[in-house]
Amino acid sequence: MTTQSQGLHTHVLDTLGLEISSGQCPPGSVLRTDELAQRFDVSRTVVREVVRVLESMHLVESRRRVGVTVRPTETWNVYDPQVIRWRLAGADRPRQLRSLTVLRSAIEPVAAGLAARHATAEQCAELTERALGMVATSRGQQLEGYLEHDIAFHRIVLNASGNEMFARLGDVVAEVLAGRTHHQVMFEDPDPAAVTLHVRLAEAVREGDPEAAERITKEIAVGALHELDVLAP
Amino acid sequence: MTTQSQGLHTHVLDTLGLEISSGQCPPGSVLRTDELAQRFDVSRTVVREVVRVLESMHLVESRRRVGVTVRPTETWNVYDPQVIRWRLAGADRPRQLRSLTVLRSAIEPVAAGLAARHATAEQCAELTERALGMVATSRGQQLEGYLEHDIAFHRIVLNASGNEMFARLGDVVAEVLAGRTHHQVMFEDPDPAAVTLHVRLAEAVREGDPEAAERITKEIAVGALHELDVLAP
DNA sequence: AACCCATTAGGTACGACTTATTCAAGAGTC
DNA sequence: GACTCTTGAATAAGTCGTACCTAATGGGTT
């Protein structure tokens, strides 16, 4: 998922991005383009392009006569999906999952409220379908199927909110949900209460009840946060 | 604020980014690296680095034998501060300001609630100081001074929330507030009610009252949204 | 302490070559 | 004759290496 050999650029970028965001190259450490070119056995051109991209993500800073310096964490573009993926793959996944889940708990209730006002008939139908899909896959170790429906469900809500910024958070939510399923040792079937809440949320949106949609989504968020507290200290 | 001549790369990137996000190069249009190199009178090297950065923002897609294609809006990295700046400088600033303000109205109340729990004594002090600064500059056409305090105030709240994702939204909020002051023809002094709310929010955070902090911030957000409705149809 | 200069590593430019796509022309089939 | 399939030439991005420019740095000189 992280790297293919579809181009030298991609490979170098992904490797460096991962090393930096995993803390392997701590803030302040200096990279030299020539060394990188040697290390990856690519031309300086490729390295420079990679550095420029990392620079645009504020992961590094390139200064003459000094080299490419890793910048402090506070300046990262933490909303860049690529950065999120790197960080989720790295060492502090727990911390990252937590802050992203808190973000979700702030955004999604509001988005759900808006969705209840703006969702089209088609979106309502697809939402219901996904909720039913979650019910159908909620028992018997069908975690992957459940995950797919879960992601699609939340994506629809965010899109239906009609707000561009919310809609673009779909990828982030997808990463969080996938991370939770794949890495948080989720042996068991999903919490039945959560499944019910999703069904009820679909109903609330369909019936155009913003208050209910917001309230129910808050409950879902509380559940997700609680789950984090239980599974990760 | 947008562009300096601090490097060819920066200039080309900024110009192209602006042209693309302002819809001047609509999605689907194709750019050729050689043409760009000619147009900006720079080497292909520089153009390629710029294209790579635009690609990392998902503004364009570079394919062999076809050129650099502008991607549809839905794929932009709309959380990238650079993209936000370009879009706010472009044609659809109103739409952009609205969706960003809605985002704020979702995030900031939650952030304020967390800030009331986690803010350090120092942060509380600075918050109060900024609130007083807002009061002091709220009358007599001191819009720039007011703006500075306003930005600092919201930044502190977001930082004090202790959540990294919230904290990194400080730049976005700053852009929104600056955009509002500079472009929304804000002849008059700020709304006294809003000033009062900021003072009360500082108090609530200092006294560690999350519910009050959240409630007050919601009121501030409602005011901001209402202001948009009045000034921009 | 202030100044100057050599060193260093990134910034830019250019030219050559490679590779993936595309598009169109031509061969083959029904 | 219309259609599909193959093939090959044209094209624009991808990669590379080198040469040179420029700014920041650190040490050495006054």
Positive or negative: CA dihedral A188, A194, A199, A201:
negative
List, for residues A137-150, the tens digit of each pLDDT value. 999 889 999 999 99
Whether the beta carbon of B39 falls within 7 A of nucleic chain D: the reply is no
Question: pLDDT value at position B141?
Answer: 87
List, for residues B33-79, the tens digit of each pLDDT value. 999 999 999 999 999 999 999 999 999 999 999 999 999 999 999 99
CA B119 to chain centre: 23
Could you give the C-alpha distances from A43 to A63, A64, A101, B169, in angstroms and in order?
19, 19, 40, 37
pLDDT at A4 over 80: no
Q: Which nucleotides of chain C are near protein (any atom < 7 Å from a CB)?
A: 7-15, 19-22
Q: Is B44 on the interface with A (CB under 8 A)?
A: no
Q: Which two tokens stand for residue B22?
A: 């302002």
Average pLDDT, stretch B155-176?
96
Nearest to B217 by CA among B117, B124, B130, B104: B104
| d(C-alpha A151, C-alpha B21), whole Å | 29
B residues 80-99 closer than 8 Å to A (CB): 80-82, 99
List, for residues B115-139, the tens digit of each pLDDT value. 999 999 999 999 999 999 999 999 9
Cβ(B196)–Cβ(B117) under 8 Å?
Answer: no
Question: pLDDT value at position B122?
Answer: 98
Average pLDDT, chain A: 93
pLDDT at A3 over 70: no
| d(C-alpha B166, C-alpha B214), whole Å | 14
pLDDT at B229 over 90: no
Question: pLDDT value at position A5?
Answer: 54
- Yes or no, beta carbons of B52 and A168 under 8 Å apart: no
| d(C-alpha A215, C-alpha A205), whole Å | 12
Going along chain A from its start, the domains and CATH numbers come out as: 8-75 (1.10.10.10), 92-231 (1.20.120.530)
Question: pLDDT value at position B1?
Answer: 36
Q: Is A102 on the interface with B (CB under 8 A)?
A: yes
Whether the beta carbon of B6 falls within 7 A of nucleic chain C: the reply is no
What percentage of chain B exceeds 90 in pLDDT? 85
| d(C-alpha B82, C-alpha A60), whole Å | 16
The distance (Å) linking the CA of B69 with the C1' of D4 is 31
Average pLDDT, chain B: 93
List, for residues B1-26, the tens digit of each pLDDT value. 333 457 899 999 999 999 999 999 99
**SS3 assignment for A7-75:** CHHHHHHHHHHHHHHCCCCCCCCEECHHHHHHHHCCCHHHHHHHHHHHHHCCCEEEECCCEEEECCHHH
Cβ(B208)–Cβ(B78) under 8 Å?
Answer: no
Residue B69 in 3-state DSSP?
strand
- Yes or no, beta carbons of B77 and A78 under 8 Å apart: no
Question: pLDDT value at position B2?
Answer: 35
Residue A187 in 3-state DSSP?
coil
**From the candidates A12, A14, A77, A222, which should be mutated to test the interface with B, based on the most B CB atoms within 10 A?**
A77
Which residues are A67's β-sheet partners? A63
| d(C-alpha B98, C-alpha A67), whole Å | 41
pLDDT at A213 over 70: yes
Q: Which two tokens stand for residue B6?
A: 């601090």
Average pLDDT, stretch A117-128?
98
Q: Which two tokens stand for residue B209?
A: 């009252």
Q: Which two tokens stand for residue A121?
A: 């008939």
| d(C-alpha B16, C-alpha A104), whole Å | 33
Question: pLDDT value at position A187?
Answer: 63
| d(C-alpha A115, C-alpha B128), whole Å | 37
Question: pLDDT value at position A167?
Answer: 97
Question: pLDDT value at position B140?
Answer: 87
Q: Is B103 on the interface with A (CB under 8 A)?
A: yes
Q: For tokens 């967390």, what's the residue?
A: B114
Average pLDDT, stretch A146-159?
98
Which alpha helices (DSSP H) does B119-188 contain, by range?
A: 121-136, 143-160, 164-167, 170-183
Question: pLDDT value at position B162?
Answer: 97
Q: How far is B199 from chain A (nearest CA, A)?
A: 23
Question: pLDDT value at position A83?
Answer: 96
Could you give the C-alpha distances from A85 to A59, A176, A214, B42, B108, in angstroms and in order?
14, 9, 28, 34, 25
